[in-house]
Chains A and B, each alone.
Chain A
Amino acid sequence: SAVISQKPSRDICQRGTSLTIQCQVDSQVTMMFWYRQQPGQSLTLIATANQGSEATYESGFVIDKFPISRPNLTFSTLTVSNMSPEDSSIYLCSANPSAGATDTQYFGPGTRLTVL
């Protein structure tokens, strides 16, 4: 498995500002992902963070709103840009281990974002 940490764990932000969430994995991993979990709902994939190239976004999510970086095999960031109250959610990163069952994903503890 992989141990994943996220910063910040929670934040309260003003409308129109941006927040960058960091995700750190304790070992090199092949793939990293960013999800959103809105209140009372299940997880929705935002994008796959690719090392050395642009992220792959899912339908309904765009790079201008959710820019992603992945500078190396253990770290990624997700920025929520020009926030509105509708962006209030939990944002989770996950990773596939490099060995073993490479389609299994392990999750970070999440970042709870509230936009006023």
Chain B
Amino acid sequence: RKEVEQDPGPFNVPEGATVAFNCTYSNSASQSFFWYRQDCRKEPKLLMSVYSSGNEDGRFTAQLNRASQYISLLIRDSKLSDSATYLCVVNVGSGGYNKLIFGAGTRLAVHP
């Protein structure tokens, strides 16, 4: 089993749609979680950090379920500019040592 697994995608949605990505992780001791966005041929950029049960930032909502070892990202009112690959990332380090494990990513394509 992979340490971080994501929906394979791609998701093709019209502008204005709501889309949700799912992610599961295997290390139950993980304490922090992130969603990064990666545009084609660019570096990953931090979208959201998730430390407690969830986090909301504008159109983006992340939820964490520790019991099920599950994280989700919800995007409301999709924009063309949301088209990218979304990476679910889990910090499996401890005691000040950080080790990020990246999921394979979910591609989102928003069309007019």
Interface residues, chain A, with chain B CB atoms under 8 Å away: 1, 31, 33, 41-45, 48, 58, 92, 96, 101-110
Contacts and interface: CB of A to CB of B under 8 A. Distances in A.
B104 interface: yes
A42 B103 contact: yes
Interface residues of B, number: 20
A42 B91 contact: no
Contacts of A41: 104
Given A103-B32, A103-B91, A104-B34, A45 B46 contact: no
Interface string B69-112: 00000000000000000010001010001111111110000000
Contacts of B45: 107
Contacts of B26: none
- DSSP class of A's interface residues: helix, strand, loop or mixed? loop
A42 B42 contact: no
Nearest to A58: B99
B44 A31 contact: no
Contact of A106 (B46, B91, B99, B105): B46
Contacts, number: 46
Given A104-B46, A104-B49, A106-B46, A45 B103 contact: no
B49 A101 contact: yes
B43 interface: yes
Contacts of B103: 42
7 contacts: A42-B103, A43-B102, A45-B99, A103-B32, A105-B46, A105-B100, A109-B42
Give the top 9 A-B pairs by smallest Cβ distance, nearest first. A107-B43, A42-B102, A43-B102, A42-B104, A103-B98, A103-B32, A110-B43, A109-B43, A103-B91
A42 B98 contact: no
Nearest to A44: B102
Contacts of A108: 43
A96 B98 CA distance: 9
Given A101-B49, A103-B91, A104-B49, A45 B43 contact: no
